A and B are shown apart, each in its own frame.
Chain A
Amino acid sequence: MKNKGRSYYLIPYYLWIALFVIAPVLLVIYYSLFDLDGHLTLDNYVNFFTPVYLKMTLTSFWYAFLITAFSLLVAYPAAYLLTRTKHKQLWLLLIILPTWINLLLKTYAFIGIFGTFGPINNFFDLLGIGEQQILFTGFSFVFVSVYIFIPFMILPIYSALEDLNLSLLDAARDLGASGWTTFRRVIFPLTISGVRAGCMAVFIPALSLFMITRLIAGNRVITLGTAIEQHFLVTQDWGMGSTVAVFLIAIMALFMIITGGSRKGVRNEK
């Protein structure tokens, strides 16, 4: 009641929401309805369901899935072991520090490491396997992405593990559960919120990052993100680019509904 008529100072924030949150989404949807010549049409959507784009979407998903799965596989044990260390804050800071280095620089490092004369190929030479083409393959793309995403997978899982009540583990053991059963029936279910948050932090960027793809995978891997960048900045076909963007937004919304509630799980650590 007392706020009535005096909340004009809130205008900048609502203006921000209108201009930079709502308007862009509407504009993308609007643009997806136009072809290159500016005619109103549904052609872009028809195009999207041709094999070329469907295949691209599927590969994009497959790679994002691989990246998420491998990140989880590496990050979960690491997060678990981190909770057992003595100087947790220090270790945590060490995990966070690499995320502050610009992602392009880290990606760039791999151009040298995976290069024809790089250390990995030297190592292969030493083993007698001989030089391999590592750069510009699907493998290097997955590896570099996993490398970049690992900290973002470790952190939410770590905080979920930290919240875990340790007496539950003792209880499980007292009741005769083996180590594996304790993990499967007690630890993992109780930290699922962290796993969800981590997967969300990895999966969606993995679908859409285009700079790693461009620098590391050349034109071998085309993800949804690369397609959008290509349409907007290279071929200038904003209509088709917007259509791909609309699908990415839809996928994202779907993904958030499926993993819904996970945010709450992470937030209550505060």
Chain B
Amino acid sequence: MRNKNGFSNLYLVLVFAVLYAPIFYLMYYSFNSGGTMHKFEGFTLDYYREVLQDTRLIIIMINTLVIALLSSAIAILIAIIGALAIKSVQNRRAKNTLLSLNNVLIVSPDVIIGASFLILFTIAGIKLGFVSVLLSHVAFSVPIAVLMILPHLQDMSPSLTDAARDLGASRKDVLTKVILPIIKPGIFSGFFMALTYSLDDFAVTFFVTGNGYSTLSVEIYSRARQGVSLSINALSTLIFLFTILLVVGYYFLTLKKNRQNTSEAVAEPVAEAGVPR
């Protein structure tokens, strides 16, 4: 029995080691003065200096953040409407159709989304660049945000809105004072999911970004295609730390929110994060 336990622990540890080894490998060599990813010569912070002094890179980082925040904000507004729309449909069949249409962009591979949006923007005459990237990020963030909000809306007892209306609340009041507070956790996690989708996206952006406009993933891709450059390593260390901060922050926020209820919902929204489609 003991032996068996030891073996299973070993397996888990091995899986985790393999999962994390490449990430730490990247981070380790970001301090290598030798300039390669295979022979560690000496400690240096040069590559960090390089990253922080690279104005082009900093502009790209700002672009990425602006796109992420803006697209998530717009997407969450459309998603609230979408969740209300799906909820308001009475017919079961129509509801399922609407849900399937909603989910199309979640299950479609990125290349298809990218290629078809490229055609769409070209036909619509939208210049490739900030606007096309923003629109496509909004577009692919909407469905996941809808799925985050919908369960909260469906769990809501209809007697609450009925009661509010009986007591004389206008439609607007019902929405802002009853519905929105109830689905707030869903809005919160939906926004967060949209944010990670946007920050993580490479393929769609790669298709719809024109010359002269770039996000971080596209930039990393074009640099990585040219071979090893340790400034990418330094950059990935910074991104890794940023990500950990974000995750830990999110984790504690949801933990605090869920303390009164149960903690079951904590892992759920995170679980769907960043599926590379």
**Taking the complex as formed, is B29 at the interface, i.e. its CB lies under 8 A from any CB of chain A?**
yes
Selecting from B48-56, B65-73, B114-122, B176-184, the interface stretch reads: B114-122
| Residue pair A207, B109 in contact (C-beta under 8 Å) | yes
Across the interface, B19 reaches (CB within 8 A) one of A16, A100, A150, A252, namely A150
Interface residue ranges of B126-149 to A (CB < 8 Å): 139, 142
**Taking the complex as formed, is A123 at the interface, i.e. its CB lies under 8 A from any CB of chain B?**
no
Across the interface, B267 reaches (CB within 8 A) one of A23, A93, A233, namely A93
From B244, which residue of chain A is reached at the shortest CB distance?
A: A97
Decide: A109 near B22, CB < 8 A? Known: A10-B84, A248-B109. yes
Residue total for A at the interface (Cβ-Cβ under 8 A) = 90
Across the interface, A100 reaches (CB within 8 A) one of B84, B108, B115, B274, namely B274
Q: 11 interchain pairs (CB within 8 A)?
A: A17-B102, A27-B123, A93-B267, A97-B243, A97-B244, A104-B221, A108-B236, A118-B38, A209-B109, A232-B114, A249-B112
| Residue pair A78, B11 in contact (C-beta under 8 Å) | yes
Across the interface, B111 reaches (CB within 8 A) one of A17, A110, A210, namely A210
From B268, which residue of chain A is reached at the shortest CB distance?
A: A270
Interface residue ranges of B74-112 to A (CB < 8 Å): 77-78, 81-82, 84-85, 88, 98, 101-102, 104-105, 107-112
Decide: A111 near B37, CB < 8 A? Known: A22-B101, A211-B203. yes
| Residue pair A100, B247 in contact (C-beta under 8 Å) | yes
Across the interface, B119 reaches (CB within 8 A) one of A31, A148, A151, namely A31
Interface residue ranges of A189-212 to B (CB < 8 Å): 200-201, 204-205, 207-211
Q: With A and B bound together, what is the CA distance between A269 and B264 in angstroms?
A: 10
Question: Which of B104, B111, B227, B244 is most buried by chain A, counting CB atoms within 10 A of its CB?
Answer: B111
| B contact residues around A77 at 8 Å (CB) | 11
| Residue pair A100, B22 in contact (C-beta under 8 Å) | no
Q: With A and B bound together, what is the CA distance between A9 and B104 in angstroms?
A: 23
| B contact residues around A100 at 8 Å (CB) | 196, 200, 243, 246-247, 273-274
| B contact residues around A147 at 8 Å (CB) | 18-19, 22
Decide: A101 near B228, CB < 8 A? Known: A113-B25, A204-B277. no
Q: Interface SS of chain B: helix, strand, loop or mixed? A: helix
| B contact residues around A85 at 8 Å (CB) | 12
**Taking the complex as formed, is B270 at the interface, i.e. its CB lies under 8 A from any CB of chain A?**
yes
Q: With A and B bound together, what is the CA distance between A77 and B9 in angstroms?
A: 11
From A99, which residue of chain B is reached at the shortest CB distance?
A: B274
| Residue pair A24, B116 in contact (C-beta under 8 Å) | yes
Selecting from A36-44, A167-175, A238-246, the interface stretch reads: A238-246
**Taking the complex as formed, is B151 at the interface, i.e. its CB lies under 8 A from any CB of chain A?**
yes
Chain B residues with a Cβ under 8 A of chain A: 8-9, 11-12, 15-16, 18-20, 22-23, 25-26, 29, 36-39, 77-78, 81-82, 84-85, 88, 98, 101-102, 104-105, 107-120, 123, 139, 142, 151, 171, 196, 199-200, 202-203, 206-207, 216-217, 220-221, 224-225, 227-228, 232, 236, 239-240, 243-244, 246-247, 251, 263, 266-268, 270-271, 273-277
Within the complex, the shortest CB–CB distance from A80 to chain B, in Å, comes to 9
Q: Interface SS of chain A: helix, strand, loop or mixed? A: helix
Across the interface, B23 reaches (CB within 8 A) one of A93, A101, A252, namely A101
A207-235 CB mask vs B (1 if < 8 Å, else 0) is: 11111001100000000010011001100
| B contact residues around A101 at 8 Å (CB) | 23, 236, 239-240, 243
Q: With A and B bound together, what is the CA distance between A97 and B243 in angstroms?
A: 9
Across the interface, A208 reaches (CB within 8 A) one of B19, B111, B139, namely B111
